[in-house]
Amino acid sequence: MKQLNIVAFGAHPDDVELACGGTLAKYSKLGHNVFIVDLTAGDYGTRGSIEERLAEAACAAQQLGIKKRINLRLEDVFFEESRESLLKVVDTIRLLRPHIALIPSPVERHPDHERAFKLIKRAIFMAGLRNLREAQIPEPHRPSLTLHYIQHTYVHPEILIDITGTWVDKIASLQCYRSQFDPTYPAPETILSTKRFMEFLAARASMLGFYIGVNKAEGFVRVDNTPFYVDLPDLIKT
Ligand SMILES: [Zn+2]
């Protein structure tokens, strides 16, 4: 089996756990190198301090079997596609050398997620440019496959991953984020901290699982629409 480097990028700590935590745990258990890169520490989140959120993120990474988690400490809410931000993401891609990149959704309720999609997509392209010498790491690299995951706003997926076996790991990773999801945490309520939100998450995973005849699934869409090769029989495998 070829060991793959899989990197999941998120705008805030907890984004990747919510959208693709089951997938990350699955491929880490299968022996691949799975990494998480958070753009920000979620500095302006309604609940929890930066220190708490970073500690929660470390706990969640452990639950998912993540090899290394990097926080780029871009400024939450204000980060832009600046030269500095792009080069930070480019260097991270050149450092981790992902075969597969999982990135935020382009159509989202939270504007940071949409901006993160654009920033990361652009940096992925730039990371492959041999003559981009402004980056600290000179060796170019571009992932073979970039998929965006699905977040709050529903986007119909193109690819579904069976996460029935790692649903418990995903939930365990989310339980690390006490400041975000625990209704008893002493802070104002947000849409994430209600019991209904966890029900929504489970319902979404069950709905996606139903399409492929499994209990729980996570969905993805290819970012690059260059045609790719598959054998017809592979398309009807169940
Ligand atoms: Zn977020």
pTM across the whole model: 0.95
Q: Which domain holds residue 140?
A: 5-235
228: phi then psi, degrees, rounded to nearest 5? -130, 160
Q: How far apart are CA 229 and CA 237, in angstroms?
A: 15
Q: How far is the CA of 2 from the centre of ligand 1 (A)?
A: 32
Q: What is the DSSP string of 135-168?
A: SSS-S----SEEEEE--SS----SEEEE-GGGHH
Q: Count of domains in the chain?
A: 1
Residues with CB under 5 Å of ion ligand 1 are 11-12, 15
- The predicted-structure confidence for 13-69, as pLDDT tens digits, reads as follows 999 999 999 999 999 999 999 999 999 998 888 888 899 999 999 999 999 999 999
CA 75 to chain centre: 18
CATH number at residue 151: 3.40.50.10320
Q: How far is the CA of 134 from the centre of ligand 1 (A)?
A: 29
- The predicted-structure confidence for 174-229, as pLDDT tens digits, reads as follows 999 998 888 888 888 888 888 899 999 999 999 999 999 999 999 999 998 788 88
Q: How far is the CA of 233 from the centre of ligand 1 (A)?
A: 38
> How many other CB atoms sit within 10 Å of the CB of residue 101?
27
